[in-house]
Structure 1
Amino acid sequence: MRLGCPFIDYGPFSKLAKLSRKYGKIFKSYAFGYPIVSVSGVDNVKSLLKNEFQTDAKGIGTFMLGKHNIGSIFGEDMLLYENDAEKHGVLRRLVGSAMTPAAIGAAIPSIQDAARLQIDEMLKTKSPIKMEDVFQSYTLDIAWKQILGLDLKEEDVPNFHTAVKDWTAGLMSPLLLMPIKIPGLMRFTKVGRARKYLGTKIEEKIDKLERDGPDSSTLSKLYFATDDDGSTKLTRDQVIHNALLLIFAGTETSASTLTCASLFLALHPDVWERVRAEQNDIRSRYGDDFNQEVLNESVYLDAVIKETLRLQPPEMGELRAVKNTVVVDGNQVPKGWCVLFNVKQTHYNDPSTYEEDGSHMDHRKGFRPERWMSESTKPMEWMPFGEGRRRCIGERLAMTEMKIFLAIFARKVAKYELVNNIDQSLAVQWQTDTTLARPAGGVECTLVSA
């Protein structure tokens, strides 16, 4: 195992990509006082995941960095942090019942309306549009309208948007990683007040569901979910905490990926024209509205999103705590250490796409959605949504909201160009104050209506 150097910067793992190029598939470093082993390669990740949910404190499990504070802000009763195999299985089935194909299909009209609203507003604006802001607004609207099913007044919508932004931004603060409880965290800090606001909104919605019965929201499906014999359902805290998890997954990661996709499409007008041609053909056959069949027909658009996630996965990877010494690719990882499943490096090393000069990961030379259209060129090592039994439960929702927005965008926008055209000789610049992938400047564009 190679030994690296510490990686500490804005975004706790922002230096990891460079270290991975230098030290290979498996190396050790430190962050926040923890020895962390970066592991890349789908086979290596799967070999480690075989040790997950082992009994008698063996194997590996998830853990919460800064549990004293993040536990209060994020929620300890969410699927992400359950390490008991049986409890995790029950929790995943119950939460997963809100993410089935049927459940997502029922949400499509609401998602479609949110996308159209954003795009129509964009086309009314004559000044340049910052795409990052549009995608944040879009995914936040889905959060309150569909995920939570809130009945917000127009003047309350900005308050909800601000609360989610403050909450998600606060989750990235290194201060929350302190090994002691921060006094007055929920009362005196911006992130604490935002979390209380969101918790109150969810509780109010639960009270309404108890009074009036189920509705079409994702929160309703969580609250009324039961196992096969009806004897087990989520506790109130589990409903609240897992609703928060879906908000985080459905806003931050989707907005990040959509922002990256908008940049790549602007840099590749030939790809953009092919997306438009596909959508115009589908529209001529199916009309304006979407359902799962229409989304399944959007094969090239699906490839665009997958290629975006290959080049720029929203997160660097996932952490696991090593409960007992494990071996991966001939290297021992001692008890008490952490492993990080390195998604970006896994994509970099994929033998089906790898180029010696690194051009396969270049945002201009390497962005080739057509590689996904054939089994002979399709990437073999791709894990932006994780792997194993903890694979992102909101994956289907995220893909649906991304495909619907880009499909409607392609149908309504004939042309869009970057305001600050990026010189072909310069690398794309990325924001340094976030742990999710965000292009610097937020992708400012001008639009021409179709």
Structure 2
Amino acid sequence: MELYTVVTSALCTLLLPLLLIITATKLWELYCFSRRDTSCHWPLPPGTMGLPFFGETLQMVLQRRKFLQLKRRKYGHIYKTHLFGTPTVRVLGADNVRHILLGEHRLVSVQWPASVRTILGSGCLSNLHDSQHKDMKKVIMQAFSREALENYVPVMEEEMKSAIDMWLQSGSCVLVYPAVKRLMFRIAMRLLLGFEPAQMDPTHEQPLVEAFEEMIRNLFSLPIDVPFSGLYRGLRARDIIHAKIEENIKEKLRQEPKSSCKDALQLLIDHSRKNGQPVDLQALKESATELLFGGHGTTASAATSLITFLALHKEVVQKVRQELESKGLLSNKPDEKKDLSIEILQQLTYTGCVLKETLRLSPPVPGGFRVARKTFVLNGYQIPKGWNVIYSIADTHDVAEIFPNKDEFDPDRFLTPFPEDSSRFSFIPFGGGVRSCVGKEFAKILLKIFIVELCRNCDWDLLNGPPTMKTGPIVYPVDNLPTIFKPFSSTC
């Protein structure tokens, strides 16, 4: 009898929690299913909604690529899930993405997860809508005009030469990803926010870089602001960044611009003064933080991928050098060496193909977030009003039929133009539609200069071979890419 009682008690102890979990999960699935639009006869996409409240957020954050690959293999190009507290549909493939990106304001509108909106703030471009977004984008685009970009080239070249010289003189391995992040951060601080080099000594710069890393790490977290949570850490890091930017804004407000070519922050300040209203300091800090995030995080990721692919494909480096030599950019004689300019950079066709191929295989930003403004049908499935919609850049590149041998690094594939209809949404490293990246021309020029300076100044080898890549939320190498740099000397 006692044995029976013990066994019964043990079974109850084990089974009751299990039954409660199963019941809660089933009720959660029923609740999520009830969120469908019953007025639409089309079914919801296939997929699972995960655990109550948490959904599949934890699996996605912890496993990222593995999680997304499993989902894609099991459910195809459209599937449902539950991420960051909201039912979500994830889409990939050129045709599906085309509907999302061209459906802005009609089918969908931008809506990043609550943690992103909280940390970056409501005043930044990514979180603005309709006329406010249009007006702000118009202002910021002035900082990326051809004239502005032409003025940026010498600063970009100066910073890159200085960084590469340090890598060459180190005499030991360089952890590329942190080094490139510091480089791109300095460039963004100078060109986008107007910081002077004297304001960016390593003592003050490093804490700011670390704060940015902490903020970015916690951008995509559960929307719970309690001590030690991801959102809490992200907000504390954001406050450090805001304090530094506020110093710069107040300095700009006290002085007249020193140059006719204004940085993006100065343009935003001038725009905020137009109507005679008091300057909205918080909105300016949010916009400046977003500019720094977009201006250095993504370019650092892409530059790290460039070093990786070029190290693994020495024949591509040789072809780049041949192109540089043909344009007079490889000469060792100072009187023969041409200065870089927008015009010359645009003539570097093959170098541009190297950049495109890098962005195809390793886009820094894996996708974008939208929310359904109304229920609509996509490829036979209903997307209910209010559900989040994530479009995937990386997976869309991966499944694009216009790229044969898609796993190979082959810049030559971009030498022949693709038909416009088939390629427009098969290759979208900067997004598309009215929400495409405002700084894409800035990024292209910056990364082209990076390729030029690398290939005409050094050779390099990866100490650990091809790296394992992780997304958090920007793509980066897990080992930070330890690399040995050696001087390259042209025989020209």
Calculate the TM-score normalised by the size of structure 2.
0.78
Shift of 1:377: 8.8
Aligned counterpart in structure 1 of residue 398 of structure 2, from 348, 354, 358: 348
Shift of 1:442: 2.0
- Measured in 1, the distance between the counterparts of 2:144 and 2:256 equals 19
**Structure 2 letter corresponding to 1:420:** N
Q: Report what 2:113 is aligned to.
A: 65
Q: Report what 1:74 is aligned to.
A: 120
Aligned counterpart in structure 2 of residue 125 of structure 1, from 149, 153, 170: 170
Q: Report what 1:445 is aligned to.
A: 483
Pair 95,184 (structure 1): closer, same or farther in 2 beyond 3 Å: farther
Q: Report what 1:374 is aligned to.
A: 416
Q: Report what 1:224 is aligned to.
A: 270
Shift of 1:315: 2.1
Is 2:68 aligned against 1:16? yes
Is 2:335 aligned against 1:313? no
Aligned counterpart in structure 1 of residue 305 of structure 2, from 252, 260, 267: 260
Sequence identity percentage: 26
Query: What CA deviation, in whole Å up to 9, does each residue of 1:177-196 have, x standing for no partner?
Result: 325x447999x965444322
Shift of 1:146: 1.9
- Check whether the contact 1:316–1:343 (CA below 8 A) recurs between aligned residues: yes
What SS does structure 2 have at the residue aligned with 1:163?
A: helix
- Measured in 2, the distance between the counterparts of 1:27 and 1:300 equals 38
What SS does structure 2 have at the residue aligned with 1:438?
A: strand
Q: Report what 2:47 is aligned to.
A: 3
Q: Report what 2:53 is aligned to.
A: none
Q: Report what 2:104 is aligned to.
A: 52
Query: What CA deviation, in whole Å up to 9, does each residue of 1:261-285 have, x standing for no partner?
Result: 1111111110111112222332169
Q: Report what 2:244 is aligned to.
A: 201
Where does the alignment leave 5 or more consecutive residues of structure 2 unmatched? 1-44, 51-55
Runs of 4+ in 1 over 6 A off after TM superposition: 183-186
Calculate the TM-score normalised by the size of structure 1.
0.85
- Measured in 2, the distance between the counterparts of 1:288 and 1:393 equals 29
Query: What CA deviation, in whole Å up to 9, does each residue of 1:127-147 have, x standing for no partner?
Result: 112221221111011122222
- Measured in 1, the distance between the counterparts of 2:350 and 2:432 equals 24
- Measured in 1, the distance between the counterparts of 2:104 and 2:419 equals 32
**Structure 1 letter corresponding to 2:413:** R
Pair 446,438 (structure 1): closer, same or farther in 2 beyond 3 Å: same
- Measured in 2, the distance between the counterparts of 1:32 and 1:71 equals 12
- Check whether the contact 2:100–2:391 (CA below 8 A) recurs between aligned residues: no
- Check whether the contact 2:211–2:241 (CA below 8 A) recurs between aligned residues: no
Q: Report what 2:41 is aligned to.
A: none
**343-352 or 34-43, which moves further after superposition?**
34-43
Where does the alignment leave 5 or more consecutive residues of structure 1 unmatched? 423-427
**Structure 2 letter corresponding to 1:35:** P
Pair 74,235 (structure 1): closer, same or farther in 2 beyond 3 Å: same
- Measured in 2, the distance between the counterparts of 1:403 and 1:376 equals 21
**RMSD between superposed Cα atoms in Å:** 2.9
- Measured in 1, the distance between the counterparts of 2:49 and 2:355 equals 34
- Measured in 1, the distance between the counterparts of 2:322 and 2:468 equals 30
Shift of 1:349: 1.8
Q: Report what 2:91 is aligned to.
A: 39
1:85-234 counterparts in 2 under 5 A?
A: 85-151=130-196, 153=198, 156-173=201-218, 176-179=221-224, 181-182=225-226, 191-214=234-257, 215=259, 216-225=262-271
Shift of 1:373: 0.6
